Structure 1
Amino acid sequence: MSEIKQAAEKTAEETIQKKGKKQKEKKTVGQEILSWILTILVAVVAALVIRSVIFEPVRVDGTSMDDTLADGEIMFVSKFDYSSTWFCLPWQDEKTKENAPRITIGGDPKRFDVVICRYPGRGDTNFVKRVIGLPGDTLRLEDGYLYIKEKGQEEEVKYEEPYISEAYRGGSLNNFGPFTVPEGEFFVMGDHRNNSNDSRSVGPIERSMIVGHVRQVVYPFGQWRTVKNGLDVE
Structure 2
Amino acid sequence: MTEETKQNTWKSDLYFWLQALVMVLTVLILIFTFVGRIIVVDGISMEPTLYHGDLLLLQSVGYTPKQGDVVVLTKEFEDADGPIVKRVIATGGQHVVIDYDAGTVTVDGEVLDEPYIKEAMMQPPEESITDILVPEGSIFVMGDNRNHSSDSRNVTLGAVDERYVLGRALWVFFPFQDFGAISNGEA
TM-score (norm 1): 0.60
Q: Which has the higher contact order (CA 8 A, sep 6+)?
A: 2
Aligned counterparts, 1:198-213, within 5 A: 198-201=151-154, 202-213=157-168
Unmatched 5+ stretches in structure 2: 1-21
Of residues 74, 94, 118 in structure 2, which corresponds to 1:118?
A: 74
Instruction: Give 1 or 2 for the bigger CA radius of gyration.
Output: 1
After superposition, what is the alpha-carbon deviation per residue over 1:42-83, rounded to whole angstroms, capped at 9, x for unaligned?
Answer: 95xx73x5334212221111000011001111112122332x
On the 8 A contact 2:72/2:168 being kept in 1, the answer is yes
The residue identity in structure 2 corresponding to 1:70 is: Y
Q: In the alignment, is the contact (CA less than 8 A) between 1:81 and 1:213 conserved in 2? A: no
Once the two structures are TM-superposed, the CA of residue 124 in structure 1 deviates from its matched residue by 8.4
Of 48, 68, 91, the residue aligned with 2:49 is 68
Q: d(CA) in 1 for partners of 2:163 and 2:110?
A: 28
Percent identity of equivalent pairs:
31
Kept in 2, the 8 Å contact 1:187–1:203? The answer is yes
Aligned pair in 2 of structure 1 residues 109, 195: CA closer, same or farther (>3 Å)? same
- Report SS of the residue matched to 1:50: helix
Match of 2:177 in 1: 222
Q: Across the two proteins, how many residue pairs are aligned to each other?
A: 160
CA pair 215-177 structure 1, distance change in 2 beyond 3 A: same
**CA distance, structure 1, for counterparts of residue 70 and residue 76 of structure 2:** 19
Partners of 2:76 and 2:82 within 8 A in 1: no
CA distance in 2, matches of 1:67, 1:73: 12
- Specify the SS of the correspondent of 1:233: coil
CA distance in 2, matches of 1:191, 1:121: 18
Distance 2:144 2:65 in 1: 17
| Aligned position for 1:17 | none
User: For 1:170, which of 122, 146, 150 is the aligned residue?
Assistant: 122
The answer to whether the 8 A contact 2:92-2:137 is kept is: yes
* Residue 181 (structure 1) shift: 0.6
Gaps of 5+ in 1: 1-38, 83-107, 150-155
Question: What are the residue-to-residue correspondences of 1:149-188 with 2, within 5 Å?
Answer: 149=108, 156-165=109-118, 167-172=119-124, 176-188=129-141
Q: In proportion to residue count, which structure has more helix? A: 1
TM-score (norm 2): 0.74
Distance 1:140-1:60 versus aligned 2 partners, 3 A rule: same
- Answer whether contact 2:86 2:143 (CA < 8 A) is retained: yes
- Amino acid aligned to 1:55: G
